[in-house]
Amino acid sequence: MANEDFITMFHRLTSVGWSEENGVNRLALNEYDIQARKNLEDEMKAVKADIKHDDAGLIFGTLGSGKDNTAIGSHMDSVPNGGRFDGFYGVMSGMQLLKELGSTLKNRKITAIDFTNEEGARFQPSLLGSGMSTGVFTKEFTYSRKDSDGIT
């Protein structure tokens, strides 16, 4: 993994929940999304990023020090039978910055972020993770959302 190029890492990580017949079925917090999130954390650990989670389930991997922080990310969850690259590219771009620039940072930080339930295909409405993190949705509202099987 250490010398793996961006495209190889990207295809390896986006293969979770992917099939040629059905596309991606990595709905928020389903088994595939959870595996993708674990894989992302493994990548973050490999570059010695400081990993944090917020109450909305967002994953933050940060390298560097100082007050200035550049954050880049997106989401890894998908719609049913979705495309492989939607959202995931933004998360992998942040990961690539950590890999390429992390050890050179002085007086600045870079954070790669994975937002939770941005597609809204499993829990309505969409953008729950970023909405809760920015105060648009309360924790109580976010945690009360149920999928079609009644799971919160």
Tell me which residue range forms the domain holding 53: 6-143
**Mean pLDDT score, 118-124:** 95
**Would the pTM of this model clear 0.85, i.e. be above it?**
yes
Mean pLDDT in the chain?
A: 92
CA 137 distance to own-chain centroid: 19
Query: Within a domain: residue 151?
Result: no
Query: Within a domain: residue 148?
Result: no
- The pair of structure tokens assigned to 27 is 């709905």
Query: Within a domain: residue 149?
Result: no
The residue among 69 and 103 whose pLDDT is bigger is 69
CATH number at residue 131: 3.40.630.10
The answer, yes or no, to whether residue 2 has pLDDT greater than 70, is no
**Mean pLDDT score, 39-65:** 95
Query: Within a domain: residue 1?
Result: no
CA atoms within a 13 Å half-sphere pointing along the CA-CB vector of 10: 15
The Cα 111–Cα 75 span in angstroms is 14
pLDDT, residue 104, reads: 80
Of 89, 60, 61, the C-alpha closest to 76 is 89
pLDDT, residue 93, reads: 92
Query: Within a domain: residue 150?
Result: no
pLDDT, residue 18, reads: 94
Domain count, the chain: 1
